[in-house]
Chains A and B, each alone.
Chain A
Amino acid sequence: MAKEATQQAEGGTERTPQWAMAIDLDRCTGCEACVLACASENNVPTAGEDQAAMGRTKHWIRIDRYYEGEFPDIKVKYRPVMCQQCDEAPCEPVCPVNATYQNAEGLNVQIYNRCIGTRYCANNCPYTVRFFNWFAPEWAEPLNLQLNPDVSIRPAGVMEKCTFCAHKIKRAKLDADAEGRELADGDVQPACVQSCPAEAMVFGDMTDPDSKVARQLGSGRSGQLLESLGTKPRVFYLEKAD
């Protein structure tokens, strides 16, 4: 009994979900609500002016801007970019201590207390979405009171990045388990997805044909960032085909 229950307790349902995100670039308005939501959800500190000037800001998600045309006939396109959770992640094989790896659900995991801070992973990431903690993070009072207890504070000397809100995945699994049901599509809402007013982002199990994300991927509008590198990201961008 204990055996089965434990398996269930850890979300060990028969099917292993394969997490993916679809971001509709035709919907994104570049408002950066996702950027803010991510920082507050995941205890991502601001770097401060001096450190920022040295390029040491941390943004687990950022909005890339693309301009088309000449001023004033200009068209701006926005692309939210976070860790692409690659199936063939260039960051993983270069880590000498296995602090970053792909788990069974397709997440590119970063284990903070395993990380020894070589920074090889960040150097090998074509999407520049990995951030190194040069200093221990600080929050001026009373901002320290808003920290999310479900997410560990990363100490100085370790790498961090978007986790696909792994803690929210965990929470959704435990909630479903406590209610004695299977995880349903839409149960897991990463902070960025949850906060997007344009509903540009969708998250879910891409191997469940009925999930929203699977339907988006099959829409014929989906592509990946730097697809030619063969990194096989789990983040898909939807765009009207030209």
Chain B
Amino acid sequence: MLSALLLLVVQTASAAEQPIGFSHTAHIEKASMQCTDCHEGATSRDSAGLPSIRKCMLCHQFIATDLPEVVRLSKYWERKHEVPWERIYGFAKTAAVQFRHAPHARAEIACSQCHGDVASMTVAVEAVTHTMGSCIQCHRDNSATDDCLACHF
């Protein structure tokens, strides 16, 4: 109960920071989209990436145009601005961590392993805390390298 409450607090806290209340679950569960439809680099590049507003508008010029969040989206579009999304995951510069998505995808590590069950989230929250301990534990469990140089260079 307490943890559920905490989660709620965290969720609302992070949710408030995003310029638009983008619902992951609506896109994944209802519209049957894949993570990689928007985070295109997740399986092939270093960073998963955030989609340009042009991608959002491919659909939202026509779909659900009257929903309040979509109206907010089209205001950015009319002003020819990108949506200033807040990053949820990432490493501090001082951590000197070089993370690459592609090799993890090739190793068939599910997105949810590091990002939680985003499919059931509305606005994404930091559901998994990334620490050196959690990275190394996973590397060891999967017989991947635990050389410091694998990530720190």
Q: Which A residues are within 8 Å of any B CB, using their own CB?
A: 1-3, 5-12, 101, 103-104, 107, 109, 111-114, 150-155, 163, 166-167, 170, 174, 177-178
Contacts and interface: CB of A to CB of B under 8 A. Distances in A.
Contacts of B103: 6, 9-10, 174, 177
B153 A9 contact: no
Contacts of B94: 113, 155
B63 interface: no
Contacts of A150: 98
A174 B92 CA distance: 23
Interface stretch (B7-15, B26-34, B119-127, B144-152): B144-152
Contacts of B79: none
A2 B145 CA distance: 14
A45 B108 CA distance: 39
14 contacts: A3-B142, A7-B143, A10-B103, A101-B148, A103-B149, A112-B152, A113-B96, A114-B152, A152-B96, A166-B153, A167-B98, A167-B153, A170-B153, A174-B102
Given A5-B108, A9-B106, A152 B153 contact: yes
Interface in B83-122: 93-96, 98, 100, 102-104, 106-109
Interface residues of B, number: 25
B149 A7 contact: no
Contacts of A6: 103, 107, 109, 139, 142-144
Contacts of B147: 103-104, 109
Contacts of A178: 44, 102, 106
Contacts of B102: 174, 178
B150 to A, nearest CB: 6
B135 to A, nearest CB: 12
Given A6-B142, A166-B153, A167-B153, A174 B100 contact: yes
A151 B149 CA distance: 12
